Amino acid sequence: MMPMDEIKDSEMIVHLGPQHPILAGPFMLDLRLEGETVKEAEFTLGYGHKGVEKILEDRMYISCIPVTDRICYLASLSNNEVFCNCIEKLLDVEVPERAQYIRVILMELSRIQSHLIGLGEFAEFIGFMSMFMFLVREREDILTLLEMITGARLTHSFVRPGGVRLDLPENFKEKALKILPDFEKRVREDQETLESDEIYIERTEGVGVVPTSLAKEVGVAGPVLRASGVNYDIRRVEPTLVYKDLDFKVITATAGDTFARAHCRFEEIYESIYIIQQCLDQIPSGEVRAKLPKTLKPEGEVYCRVEDPRGEMAFYMIADGSPKPYRVRIRGPAYATLQALPPVLEGVYVADVPAIIGSMDGCTSEVDR
């Protein structure tokens, strides 16, 4: 909350939230305005605080996996992935190659569905309601594929230390190869609809520019960072799983504005589809889970990171050889991006605030933990 006595007569405060249609979750944004220009922005967080880090300290390693789902429901598979990655590194287990491919497929599918929701919300905040409906309709196809593999549409809890829970279903490859090209065609149509719209271009181009130097200094993550011209993707920088063997482009843009951020997300969807098609071609047969003892007792200290739909997701785990983790620290990408919002919002018009917040694709659930 901003102190009232520091406010001049010509200024006023506008509270957005905690419940507001333009916010991607419950948080409060106080804007100090002079006329229509934002002078200062400040956050109040904690409406969705669950205490995940404390909960994880009191659970066996296997029971931690469903908790990591709840950090961010749109990126639950990458949260599973990075948590299991920590345990595997500590126990020095090698994941069977088939399981690695399945994990890559799952991560990319969840990236696609997360980007679709993010873009849909962004379009809705701008006022393009029907685009939200279009994109959620396309997302249904991806959720069908995810449901085929994991049996759940949202919180999957599918990745296990040393592999995955189940093998791919029998007719998955045929079905995925049938759905994906059609899906890509429809998303491309939606992108064209959105990006050829004059009002959309007017409202997004040159709005909320994050220059390269600022992006690096404030530490934004994921597509927001790449739209500012920084070629930084954990899949390329520090490849886990079989990302080394796969061919993909790191999508970057130079403008750093709202338009570029949305554009990067669309392009990343197509890259993800290409990665999944490669995986389905290359996937070998074999085991999907390495043999591990029933009670996991890793020991040591590890820092692992993967590329979440929103950027670099990292876990810092200290294990002391008991069946429960001693300390788990979660470093989320949405947290880093949201922190960088106040300097970006300084000097913009109030009417542009929804567009900028939407293009950042925040996830308050992950920020609050």
Partner 1 sequence: MAEKEEKKKREKPPEGLSKEELKEWARKKAEERRKLREAKKGEEKETKEKETKKEKKVYTNPLADRLRERFKEELSDISVDDPLRVSAFVDPTKVKEVMKILKEEFGLDHLMDVSGVDALKLKGADPNTFWVVYHLTSHDNPTILTLKAVIPRDNPQIDSIIDIYWNANWYERETFEFFGIIFNGHPKLKALFLSDEDIGQWPLRKDSPAYPNPNNTQR
Q: How far is the CB of 206 from partner 1 (least distance, A)?
A: 24
CB 369 within 8 A of CB 49: yes
Binding residue for partner 1, selected from 230, 242, 280, 292, defined by CB under 8 A: 230
Find the shortest distance in angstroms from Cβ 196 to partner 1: 34
Residues 145-164, one symbol each (x = binds partner 1 by CB under 8 A, - = not), give --------------------
Binding residue (CB under 8 A) for partner 1 from 318, 323, 324, 350: 318
Q: Is residue 49 part of the contact set for partner 1 (CB under 8 A)? A: yes
> Shortest gap between Cβ of 298 and partner 1 (angstroms)?
13
Rounded to the nearest whole angstrom, what is the least distance from the CB of residue 368 to partner 1 in the complex?
6
Nearer to partner 1, 11 or 238 (CB): 238
The minimum distance between CB 45 and partner 1, in angstroms, equals 6
Q: Which of 12, 36, 326, 349 binds partner 1 (CB under 8 A)?
A: 326
State the nearest-atom distance from the C-beta of 187 to partner 1, in Å.
Answer: 30
Residue pair 280/173 in contact by the 8 Å Cβ criterion: yes
Residue 18 preceded by cis peptide, ω within 30: yes
Given candidates 2, 13, 33, 45, which one binds partner 1 under the rule CB under 8 A?
45
- In angstroms, the CA 116 to CA 184 distance is 12
Reading the block at residue 19, the tokens are 């419940």
If one asks whether residue 218 binds partner 1 (CB under 8 A), the answer comes out as: yes
Give the nearer residue to partner 1 in terms of CB position, either 158 or 243: 243
Which residues between 273 and 312 bind partner 1 (CB under 8 A)? Answer: 301-303, 312
Asked whether position 39 contacts partner 1 by CB under 8 A, the answer is: no
Q: In sequence order, which residues have a C-beta less than 8 Å from that of residue 188 and are 6 or more positions away?
A: 270
326/300 Cα distance (integer angstroms)? 10
Strand order from edge to edge, sheet including 311-320: 299-308, 311-320, 327-331
Toward partner 1, which CB reaches closer, 191 or 365? 365
Only segment of 16-24, 43-51, 139-147, 274-282 that touches partner 1 (CB under 8 A): 43-51
* Cβ(269)–Cβ(116) below 8 Å: yes
Interatomic CA distance for residues 154 and 156, integer angstroms: 6
Query: Residue 132 or residue 315: which is nearer to partner 1 going by CB?
Result: 315
Within 13 Å, how many C-alpha atoms sit on residue 152's CB side?
16
Which token pair is 235?
A: 């899949």
Helix spans in 92-222 (H)? 97-126, 129-150, 172-195, 198-204, 212-218
Q: Which one of residues 155, 193, 277, 339 is an interface residue with partner 1 (CB under 8 A)?
A: 339
The interface with partner 1 within residues 59-118 (CB under 8 A) comprises 89, 92
* Range 63-72, long-range pairs (CB < 8 A, 24+ positions): 64/325, 64/328, 65/157, 65/159, 65/160, 66/155, 66/157, 69/155, 69/156, 69/157, 70/155, 70/365, 71/330, 71/332, 71/365, 71/366, 71/369, 72/308, 72/332, 72/334, 72/363, 72/365, 72/366
In this structure, what token pair is assigned to residue 148? Answer: 């085929």
Taking the least distance from each CB to partner 1, the nearer of 135 and 253 is: 253
Contacts with partner 1 by CB under 8 A lie at 45-46, 49, 51, 53-55, 89, 92, 216-219, 230, 232, 237-238, 301-303, 312, 314, 316, 318, 320-321, 326-327, 329, 331, 335-336, 339-340, 368-369
